[in-house]
Amino acid sequence: MESLEQIRDRLLSRYPGAELSILNNPSPSAQHSLVVGGSAAREIAAFLRDDPALQLDFCSNVTGVDWPDKEIVETTRTTIPDPAGGPPKLVEQKTKRIQPGYLEVVYHLYSMALKQGPVIIRMRTGNRTDQVTLPSLTPVWRSGEFQEREVFDLFGVVFDGHPDLRRILMWDEFKGHPMRKDYVEPDDYEWEPTPHDEVLAKAKAHYPAPAAPAAPGANAK
């Protein structure tokens, strides 16, 4: 099978101006992926599916990943030559910047016809709040139908062109997207006989302190 670079170059010659970049995967699995800009994603996906050398007709896995805003501390080192002729001084400067977060959707593509794969493509949203629309690839691979709905439900990515975008796992009245990293779950931890750490903190906040020592099993019935 072609390498990811070859696929990218072929795509670029076919769709000049498409935003394509390769994300290297440093782990031993060496499954590198292709980051596709949202605008031309559906044509690119259809090309990957129909191209005779690739025939990626099987979209196995669709999943979302949440990358929240990250504070990045950058250290810049500058050497200032000492005017007195001594050894040059090293000055460290720390700058903080917020790297804006985004939501990412990952597609694992295989070819059933040629029995090869995977080719991994990813799409990224502009941010995590208002620019969360991505083109749906369900028109290209039907298998995205439920999986994209799941990503919509749990991560909050809105898929443009999806035939039936509704919540799938949570109920319709539900607010929020539970798989995001900053989701705060409802505080209903079960009582434990020997609470500790987090559970104890939650239990203290949640349940009234005992007025008088009661039997541990005095669980009202």
Measured in whole angstroms, the distance separating CA 110 from the mean position of its chain's CA atoms is 21
| Residues 105-124 within binding reach of another protein (CB under 8 A) | 106, 108, 112, 115, 118, 120
Cα distances (Å, whole numbers) of residue 185 to 107, 129, 151, 177, 179: 28, 19, 18, 10, 10
Task: Considering only the stretches 1-9, 28-36, 86-94, 129-137, report the one whose residues sit in contact with another protein under the rule CB under 8 A.
Answer: 28-36
Which one, 90 or 205, has the nearer CB to another protein? 205
- Cis amide prior to 118 (ω within 30 degrees): yes
- Residue from 71, 74, 92, 188 that binds another protein (CB under 8 A)? 188
> At closest approach, how far in Å is the CB of 141 from another protein?
6
Q: Does 97 bind another protein (CB under 8 A)?
A: no
Q: Report how many residues bind another protein under the rule CB under 8 A.
A: 63
- Residue from 38, 43, 60, 133 that binds another protein (CB under 8 A)? 60
- Which ranges constitute the DSSP H helices of the chain? 4-14, 41-50, 144-155, 197-206
Spatial CB neighbours of 79, under 8 Å, sequence gap ≥ 6: 88, 89, 90, 91
- Residue from 36, 145, 152, 165 that binds another protein (CB under 8 A)? 145
Q: 109 is written with which tokens?
A: 């593509």
CA distance 60 to 118: 9
- Give contact residues for another protein (rule: CB under 8 A): 25-29, 31, 57-61, 63, 65, 106, 108, 112, 115, 118, 120, 141-143, 145-147, 154, 166-176, 178-179, 183, 185-186, 188-191, 195, 203-204, 206-211, 213-216, 218-221
